Amino acid sequence: MSSDHLSWARNREAVVNPSAELDTGVPTAARVYDVMLNGKDNYSADRAVAEASLAVMPELKEIAINNRAILHRVVRHLAADEGIVQFLDLGSGLPTARNTHEVAQEANPESRVVYVDIDPIVLAHGRAILANDANTRVATADIRRPGEVLAHPDVRGLIDFERPVCVMLCGILHHLLDEEDPNGIVDALREAVAPGSFFFITNFTRLGDAPESAELERVLLSQLGTGRVRTPAELARFFTGLELLTPGIVPLPLWRPDTPVTDATSIAARFMTGGVARKP
């Protein structure tokens, strides 16, 4: 069993049983990402994974910022220009500056957002931040069980799956191992949502000219239990049956940038790619 699976089992118990002790000695993807974004809601185990990863690829902090920036652009576009008022943010991570609900509700005040993450600390922080926001909720669930996510009362309480929704898989699918069938999970989500829904997906991408990408995968899999760096063809498979919006699957800074991109050739620009697609 990987460390991430152990983390899920132990920390899930802390959610189900509040008297159970949260195991902060086991790193989680949400808190490692928090380290990369210079957050404060992480522990020594999470920082150790982040430091080992940065030793292989120092650009990871810039990559995390790029991932956050594309989230803002995508959510703003869908809420303002595509009429999407429902967002299901899967593997959302810890709350940070300019969260999904803030961007969506700024573009359309009627926007409803449900954050879903396996880390119970996300639930605790999210509920504190969102206590006075009736259109936003946080649910603790495992996206490896999409049926349970879709049936979760906090998800069903805000999201109407008979109407279009944006399913956000922003930087989370690379934390699913191949044997956990990420393609099957995306397929199940695609089948569950209404036509006119959107999928927003980003993933670590293997760079043939950069051996660091393979080494980073090795470090993440050994220390975190997750961190699958996929090929462009593997990422394209996630969009099967969907209609990609222009400019397609591209390095994150190149997806409809707000300002000119001066360097799209660096590892920081290319290591994560992603796109947005509509269900016909």
| Residue 69's CATH number | 3.40.50.150
Q: How many CB atoms lie within 10 A of CB 195?
A: 8
Per-residue pLDDT of the chain (280 residues; tens, 9 = 90+): 333 433 433 343 333 333 334 567 888 887 888 888 888 888 899 999 889 888 888 888 999 999 999 999 999 999 999 999 999 999 988 777 689 999 999 999 999 999 999 888 777 777 777 778 899 999 999 999 999 999 999 999 999 999 999 999 999 999 999 999 999 999 999 999 999 999 999 999 998 877 888 888 888 888 888 889 999 999 999 999 999 999 999 999 999 999 999 888 898 899 999 999 999 9
Residue 179 in 3-state DSSP? helix
Of 52, 68, 63, 69, whose CA–CA distance to 204 is shortest? Answer: 63
123 φψ region: left (φ > 0), alpha (ψ -120 to 50), beta (else): alpha
- Spatial separation of the C-alpha atoms in residues 247 and 249, rounded to whole Å: 7
DSSP states along 102-143 = HHHHHH-TT-EEEEEES-HHHHHHHHHHTTT-TTEEEEE--T
Amino acid in the structure at residue 23: D
- Whole-angstrom Cα distance, residue 171 to residue 165? 18
Q: How many domains are there within the chain?
A: 1
- In this predicted structure, what is the pLDDT of residue 97? 66
Residue range of the domain that includes 186:
3-278
Please give the pLDDT value at position 22.
59
**pTM score, whole prediction:** 0.86
Q: In a 3-state reduction of DSSP, which class is residue 169?
A: strand
**Residue of 133, 80, 71, 73 lying closest to 107 (CA atoms):** 80
Closest alpha carbon to 272 in 210, 192, 186? 210
How far is Cα 190 from Cα 56, in angstroms, rounded to an integer? 35
What is the predicted pLDDT for the residue at 149?
97
Does the CA dihedral 119-214-234-170 come out positive or negative? positive
Residue 18 tokens, joined: 């509040």
Omega before residue 211 within 30° of 0, cis: no
